[in-house]
Amino acid sequence: MYSLFGECHALWQARSLLWVMTRREVAARHAGTAAGVLWPYLQPLLTVAAYYLVFDVVFSMRLGDNAPTHAVGAFLVVGALPWMAFCDATARGMNSLVEAGGILQKNPLPPVLFPMRAVLASSVIFGPLLLLVALAYLPQHGLTWSLVALIPLLLGQLLLCALLAYALAILTAALRDVGQLVTFFLSVGIYLSPILFPLALFPERWRWVLWANPMTALVLGYQNVLLQGLWPQMAVWAALGLWILVLAVLLNGLVRRSRDQLVDWL
Amino acid sequence: MNAKHVELPDDLVLRVRNLGKEYKLYPSPRARFKALLTGVATHRSHWALRDVSFELRRGQCIGVIGDNGAGKSSLLKLLAGTLQPSCGQIERVGRVTAILELGAGFHPDFSGRDNLYFGGSLIGISPERMRELEPEIAAFAELGEALERPVKTYSSGMAVRLAFALVTAVQPDVLIIDEALAVGDQHFQKKCIERIMAFRNSGCTILFCSHSPYHIRHLCDAALWLRGGHVAQFGATEPVLAAYDAHTRERQEREQRALCGEMLPAEGEPAESAPAADEVPPAPVAAVDSGTACILSVDVKDLAEPVGDQPGLLQSQDLVVTITARGRGNERPHIGFMIEQSKGVGITSLATHEDGAAPRQLPDGSWQTVLTFPELPLHSGDYVISAFLFDETGLAVYDEWFQFLHLRFIFPKPLPGLVRLPHHWS
C-alpha cells in the first residue's frame, strides 16, 4: 500500500490547489452559459423530476409486494441519482489524465490531482442533490437514526469513485480502448443493479451478477435508509468494503508500475 | 518524487547526481496495457539520459547544447519536475520556474484574468499574492482591456505574452528555458530578454537550452554538452562550444561523405562536384516599411556576376561589405558579419558591438556600416558570407541573412592554406 499512501500524501500537500482546481472544473462545466452554475445542478435535478412526474403523477405505476416501496418514481429516484453521480465521476475521472496531458507535461504537478479534481467536482454537484432528495423523503419515516447511515454511504461512494476513476484513468492512459469499453459498461450497468427493478424481481440464480456492479451495495443502502427508514443491511457494508479494498490493492499496483512513465503516455 | 527540496551546501541551488531517464518503448499500447496489468516487462529500453551529474551555483547561467535527441529536453523536463527520473537524484532549493512551452493550460472560455489566477495556483502563486502581482503582470503582457476577454479571443502572441508574464512574475531561484526566446514580436522578445537578464543580475540561476551558439556565448558563463544522454563536457563556455563545434563539423563531414559515397557509384561523378552554391540562397526580404527591424541590403564591392553555378569572383584584393539595415524606432542597432568557407569551417565572425563600433544613421533613418578587410588575408577559394542585425544590447537577433552570398577569391600567390596570419620573419 506504500504507493497509495504516497499519492495520498501528495494530495494532502496540494490540497489548496486541489480545491482551486475543483472549483474551476465546476465552473468550466457551465462556462459561457447564461444560467451559469445552475446548469450542472439543473440537469440531474430535471431528470429525476421527470421520473417522478411520469411514473408517480401521470401513470401512478406501482411495484409488487416484495419491493422496498410501491411508488415506481420514488423507487427510481433513490437509485438513479446516485447512479448518475457514479457515472459522472467515473467517466470524467477516467478521461481526466488524458485530457490533462498538456498541463502535466508542462507543470510539475502530481497526476493524482486530475482524477481527484474530476471526482470532487462531481461530488460537489451531486452531493447536495443527494441530500436534497434525502430531505424530500424525510416525511415518510421522519427523523430516524438510520439517516446517519447516509454519511458513511456518501463517503463510501466518494472513496469508491475516487479509487475507480484513478485506476481507470491510468489504464486509459496506457490503452485508450479502456475508455470506450468502460463507457459501454456505464451505459448497461444500470440494468445490472437494483435501480430500475427491486432486487427481489431478479431471478435467484442470476442475482450474484448484480454484486459485480460496485454500485449495487450503495443503491441497496440508499433504498434501505430512504425508502424503508432502516439501517442498511450487513451485506451492503460488506460488499462496499470489499469493493473498496479490491480497488485500493489494484490501484496501488497500477500506481507503482506506472509512476515514472505515466506522463510519457499522455 | 525524486526531486527533493533540501539543504544544499554553500551557494549551490541544484545538485544532480547519477540522473537517468529510461523511456520504456512498448511495441504497441496493448503490450503496454498488458505490462501494466501483469507487471511482465516486454519493453525495449531507451535511456534518454544516463549518469548525468552536475552542480549549479547561485547566479550561474548554463547553456545546454547537444544534437537532436541528445537528451536536452528530457534533462530540462526532469529538472522542472514534469518528468519523473528513472534513477538518480535531483536536489534543489527554492523556486524553480520552467519556460517550456508557453500558454499551455489556459482555458479558452475563461477570461485572461481568470486564467491568470488559475495558472498562478498551478505554479504556486496564491490568489492573495496574485492580487498584488496582477497590475505588474497586466502591464508587462500589454493586454489592457483584453484581460477581461476570454482567452479564445486572443491572438497567439497575446496568449504567449500573458503566459510569459505569468511564469516570470515571481523571481525564481532557478529558471529553466527551452528555446522559448523565439516568441512573440521583436518588441516583446526584447522585453523577455531584458527580464531574464534582470533575473540573472539579481542572482537567479539560469539553465538555458538553445541551438544558437550565439546566444549561449553571450548569455552563459558555462555550457553543458550532452551527447547520447551522457555529459560529454561541462565547463567554461568557450572550450565546450569549441569542442561541440568540432564535433558538429566532423559529423556533418561524415554525413556528407556518406552521401557522396552513395552518389558516386550511381552517377559516376567525382565527389568534389556539386558546390554548395547551387542551392538556392534564401531570398532576403527587402520589406520597405513593415515596421520591423531588418537588413535592407548587403553589397560586396567589386564582385563579378556569378557565372552559371560558379560563385562570383571578387575582383579586388580588398573585401568591402556595405550593410544597410532598418532599425527599430530610435534604437541604434548593431550589425554582425560572418565569413566561412563555402564547404568547410568558419573563418571569422565580427559584430559592431563586439568591436566597439556602431553603424551610422543615414538621412532616411536607416543604419549603415561599411566593413573593410584590406588585403583580404585569405587564400584562394570559395567563401560564403552572412549578415546579422542585432538590437542595441547585441542579444536579440532582429534579422539574419544566413550564408546568403557565395563568392570566389583568388590569392595571386599559389600557396596552399586557408588564412594568412599576421606574422614576421627575422
Q: Which of B155, B157, B156, B181 is nearest to B168 (CA)?
A: B181
Give the angle subtended at the CA of B4 by the CAs of A264 and B9, to the nearest 5°: 140
ipTM, two decimals, is: 0.74
Sheet holding B222-227, edge to edge: B96-99, B174-178, B205-209, B61-65, B222-227, B230-236
Nearest-CA distance from B83 to chain A in Å?
A: 7
Radius of gyration of chain B (CA): 25
Chain A's closest residue to B95, CA to CA, is: A108
Interface contact B82-A102, CB threshold 8 A: no
Interface contact A254-B36, CB threshold 8 A: yes
Chain B's closest residue to A17, CA to CA, is: B121
End-to-end, the C-alpha distance of chain B in Å comes to: 68
Nearest-CA distance from B195 to chain A in Å?
A: 21
**DSSP summary character for residue A180:** H
Which residue in this structure is represented by grid cell 497509495?
A4
**Set of cell numbers at residue B290:** 513593415
Quote the distance between the C-alpha of residue B140 and its chain's center. 23
The stretches of B142-236 forming alpha helices (DSSP H) are 156-167, 186-201, 213-219
Which residue in this structure is represented by grid cell 411508488?
A71
Q: Which of A21, A85, A80, A5 is nearest to A48 (CA)?
A: A80
Contact of A170 with chain B, judged by CB distance below 8 Å, is answered with: yes
* B177, β-bridge pairs: B99, B208
Nearest-CA distance from A144 to chain B in Å?
A: 43
Q: Which residues on chain B are in Cβ contact (under 8 Å) with A10? A: 1
Nearest-CA distance from A94 to chain B in Å?
A: 15
Contact of B84 with chain A, judged by CB distance below 8 Å, is answered with: yes
* B326, β-bridge pairs: B294
> In one letter, which amino acid is A29?
R
Nearest-CA distance from B7 to chain A in Å?
A: 20
Which residue in this structure is represented by grid cell 509512476?
A259
Q: Per-residue confidence at A247, pLDDT binned at 50, 70, 90?
A: very high
Contact of A54 with chain B, judged by CB distance below 8 Å, is answered with: no
pLDDT greater than 50 at residue B283: no
Sheet holding B346-351, edge to edge: B312-313, B397-409, B381-390, B334-341, B346-351
Interface contact A171-B35, CB threshold 8 A: no
Interface contact A263-B39, CB threshold 8 A: no
**Set of cell numbers at residue A153:** 454511504
pLDDT tens-digit readout, A13-63: 888 888 988 988 888 888 777 777 888 888 888 998 898 888 888 887 777
The stretches of B220-271 forming alpha helices (DSSP H) are 237-267
**Set of cell numbers at residue B317:** 584584393
Q: Is B79 helix (H, G, I), strand (E, B) or coil?
A: helix
Which residue in this structure is represented by grid cell 541551488?
B13
Angle subtended by helix axes A214-222 and A234-258, to nearest 10: 140
Residue A175 has its nearest CB partner, among B33, B39, B83, at B33
- Please state, in angstroms and as integers, the Cα–Cα distance from residue A54 to each residue in A18, A61, A153, B211, B237, following that order: 40, 9, 28, 68, 78
Neighbours of B267 (CB within 10 A): 10
Q: Which residues on chain A are in Cβ contact (under 8 Å) with B24? A: 261
pLDDT greater than 60 at residue A118: yes
Quote the distance between the C-alpha of residue A194 and its chain's center. 15
Residue B123 has its nearest CB partner, among A107, A174, A254, at A107
Chain B's closest residue to A113, CA to CA, is: B122
Q: Which residues on chain B are in Cβ contact (under 8 Å) with A21? A: 118, 121
Question: Is residue B185 within a helix (H) or strand (E), and if so which, with residue range?
Answer: none
Q: Are B346 and B338 in contact (CB under 8 A)?
A: yes
Give CA–CA dist B54/B77, Å, rounded: 16
Interface contact A264-B3, CB threshold 8 A: no
For B218, how many CA atoms within 13 A lie in the half-sphere containing its CB? Answer: 16
End-to-end, the C-alpha distance of chain A in Å comes to: 25
pLDDT tens-digit readout, B2-29: 455 556 666 788 888 888 888 888 888 8
Q: Which residues on chain B are in Cβ contact (under 8 Å) with A106? A: 82, 98, 100-101, 104-105
Interface contact A107-B105, CB threshold 8 A: yes
Which residue in this structure is represented by grid cell 512574475?
B169
pLDDT tens-digit readout, A171-208: 998 888 888 899 999 998 888 888 888 888 888 888 88
pTM confidence score: 0.74
Residue A106 has its nearest CB partner, among B23, B33, B104, at B104
pLDDT greater than 60 at residue B244: yes
Contact of A10 with chain B, judged by CB distance below 8 Å, is answered with: yes
| Count of all residues that appear for chain B in the document | 426
Q: Per-residue confidence at B264, pLDDT binned at 50, 70, 90?
A: low
Give CA–CA dist A218/A80, Å, rounded: 11
Question: Is residue B210 within a helix (H) or strand (E), and if so which, with residue range?
Answer: none
Looking at every residue in chain A, the average pLDDT score rounds to 87
> In one letter, which amino acid is A75?
F
Q: Per-residue confidence at B73, pLDDT binned at 50, 70, 90?
A: confident
